């Protein structure tokens, strides 16, 4: 059992917003994560919504800017938000915003100096999941979502674990990182020069080889997003989904950009989407 240090506790609507710190054995450094719980008496066993944030973000970005607590309290959804990378003075870093601390890309790095600490995939899917399930007693059905780099993370984690997650959603995700500048830069550093090794962390490549259970995916993409054409390219994932008969919905949102204003506008619809998939399965 890991020792959890409670850093913050705030009543929000009919629930409570928490922030914790713990010493991660996977990332070899202290880590923070945030957790929202709806009213325990009304929702004793709530489903769990995982949110993965994007480049430069921490777990605070979603809790402070998305405005999701009101909807989560009403719908009875617990929400857990990890940080985006290992952090600390002894942790490898870069002067660039899209590499190093704040830019973990939700993979397991294999190259020095990153491999010791940059194992965000294992952190999310194993260590933090164990904390959520065994220490926080969050044992309800699970969904996963995220924004930009975190949308990439939600897609790859969901596609790699279709038996665990009921559905996936994303805002402006990087869907084909092995072919766009953000991903090429990060994957080359974290995973090395052999691009075959990159495909295990690329949503488009994973969907191409997907077999078995197909879980529903919802993507919202702002038409005014400056990164849409060069870095994100969700249309490519739609093409593969059609070929594979994968249940994916892409919604192009007129006038919306890459910011949290877009997330705040549609986050309640994403929570409702996930709960709808859960209802279909019951």
Q: Which two tokens stand for residue 226?
A: 């400056």
Percent of the chain surpassing pLDDT 70: 99
Burial 124-155 (b: 16+ CB within 10 A, else e): bbebbbebbeeebebebbbbbbbbbbbbbbbb
Domain ranges of the chain: 4-279
- For 47-84, write each residue's pLDDT tens digit: 999 999 999 999 999 999 999 999 999 999 999 999 99
- CATH number, span 4-279: 3.40.50.1820
User: Active site residue: 24, 53, 148, 169, which one?
Assistant: 148
User: How does residue 282 score in pLDDT terms, banded at 50, 70 and 90?
Assistant: very low
CA distance 177 to 99: 13
Best CA proximity match to 67, nearest among 256, 270, 260: 260
Residue 105, exposed/middle/buried by CB under 10 A (0-12, 13-18, 19+)?
buried
> Does 178 participate in catalysis according to the annotation?
no
> Does 225 participate in catalysis according to the annotation?
yes
> Does 34 participate in catalysis according to the annotation?
no
User: Active site residue: 147, 256, 258, 274, which one?
Assistant: 258
* CA–CA distances in Å: residue 77 to residues 34, 35, 55, 70, 183: 14, 11, 25, 10, 32
Q: Which two tokens stand for residue 90?
A: 């002894």
pTM summary value: 0.97
- For 152-211, write each residue's pLDDT tens digit: 999 999 999 999 999 999 999 999 999 999 999 999 999 999 999 999 999 999 999 998
């Amino acid at each position: 059992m890991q020792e959890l240090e409670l850093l913050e506790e705030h009543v929000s609507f009919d629930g409570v917003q928490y922030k914790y710190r713990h010493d991660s054995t996977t990332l070899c450094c202290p880590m923070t994560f945030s957790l929202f719980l709806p009213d325990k008496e009304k929702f004793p066993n709530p489903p769990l919504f995982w949110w993965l944030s994007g480049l430069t973000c921490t777990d605070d970005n979603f809790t402070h800017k998305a405005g999701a607590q009101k909807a989560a309290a009403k719908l009875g959804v617990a929400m857990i938000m990890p940080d985006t990378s290992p952090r600390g003075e002894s942790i490898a870093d870069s002067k660039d915003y899209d590499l190093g601390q704040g830019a973990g890309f939700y993979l397991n790095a294999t190259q020095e100096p990153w491999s010791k600490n940059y194992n965000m995939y294992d952190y999310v899917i194993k260590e933090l999941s164990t904390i959520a399930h065994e220490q926080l007693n969050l044992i309800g059905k699970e969904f996963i979502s995220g924004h930009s780099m975190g949308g990439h993370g939600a897609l790859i984690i969901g596609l790699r674990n279709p038996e665990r997650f009921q559905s996936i959603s994303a805002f402006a995700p990087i869907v084909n990182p092995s072919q766009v500048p953000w991903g090429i830069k990060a994957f080359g550093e974290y995973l090395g020069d052999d691009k075959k090794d990159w495909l295990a962390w690329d949503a488009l490549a994973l969907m191409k080889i997907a077999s078995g259970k197909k879980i529903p995916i919802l993507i919202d993409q702002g038409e005014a997003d400056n990164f849409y054409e060069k870095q994100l390219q969700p249309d490519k994932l739609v093409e593969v989904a059609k070929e594979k008969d994968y249940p994916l919905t892409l919604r192009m949102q007129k006038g919306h950009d890459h910011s949290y204003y877009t997330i705040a506008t549609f986050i309640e619809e994403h929570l409702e989407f996930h709960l709808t998939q859960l209802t279909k399965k019951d």
